[in-house]
Structure 1
């Protein structure tokens, strides 16, 4: 008698899937301490395309509660916030703001942000050329207003 018959293998996989649902994953939205201040137009675009990964205002979709997807999303959001967090923008020193503004423009111009995988799951993040240009223009203009303290 083989242990790894197709039926047994399927049952083992189902059991593993059920067990991994009990592995805790951190999905938090810490307090917004020093949010980015921008025009309503820029804020609206950013909230639809950037904030789920780059702020403390993540909207966790239903599939973020199902392992192993929950692990991937939690890690992705944690890394996104570490790289750029619009909820803590006001706490960034001037040099960091300048660097991030330059990166924002560069990533959007290069077609790297928002991520293609995110856009596939969130159609509202599929920015038009005009919306992308609004963000790029904002980033360039904001660089002129940053104080280097």
Structure 2
């Protein structure tokens, strides 16, 4: 048992030497979703608090991003989130892709799929109230119909 615990401790210590990349990719801030679509302040606040950490280049890394293997799991979520939708590169997308992403955003919020439960457990402030969901969905629908 001692050998197992020593090995486990050694493995955890060694893991800490394998850091995640927290560098901010270069991007043109004029291509950002909020800059281009000019949401009302309340909607902008909702987007930043519930979406931007995983779906933009403006991630604010929490303290546990320093602790492997949690940091690896976090980095994986951020990479996947940016791959699906990156608000920081919104202006670079085609009109067809923008419309599709807006439809996906509406669907994900309506179905309660976003923000992820695993995210809101650690970031309770990112949980959306019924009123916030309605405001976000209504505004996204308006933007989508205007494209």
Compute the TM-score of the two structures, normalised by the length of structure 1: 0.91
Report matched runs for 1:39-58 at 5 Å.
Answer: 39-58=40-59
* Structure 2 SS opposite 1:144: helix
Report matched runs for 1:1-149 at 5 Å.
Answer: 6-33=1-28, 34-37=31-34, 38-146=39-147
**Which moves more between the two structures, 35-44 or 134-143?**
35-44
Unaligned runs of 5+ in 2: none
Point out the structure with max Rg over C-alpha.
1
**Structure with the bigger percentage of helix:** 2
Post-superposition shift, 1:28? 2.7
* Structure 1 SS opposite 2:33: coil
* Structure 2 SS opposite 1:57: coil
Partner Cα distance (2:145, 2:49) in 1: 25
RMSD, aligned CA: 1.0
Compute the TM-score of the two structures, normalised by the length of structure 2: 0.92
Q: Show CA shifts across 1:35-59 (max 9, x none).
A: 0132221111011000000001100
Partner Cα distance (2:126, 2:19) in 1: 28
Unaligned runs of 5+ in 1: 1-5
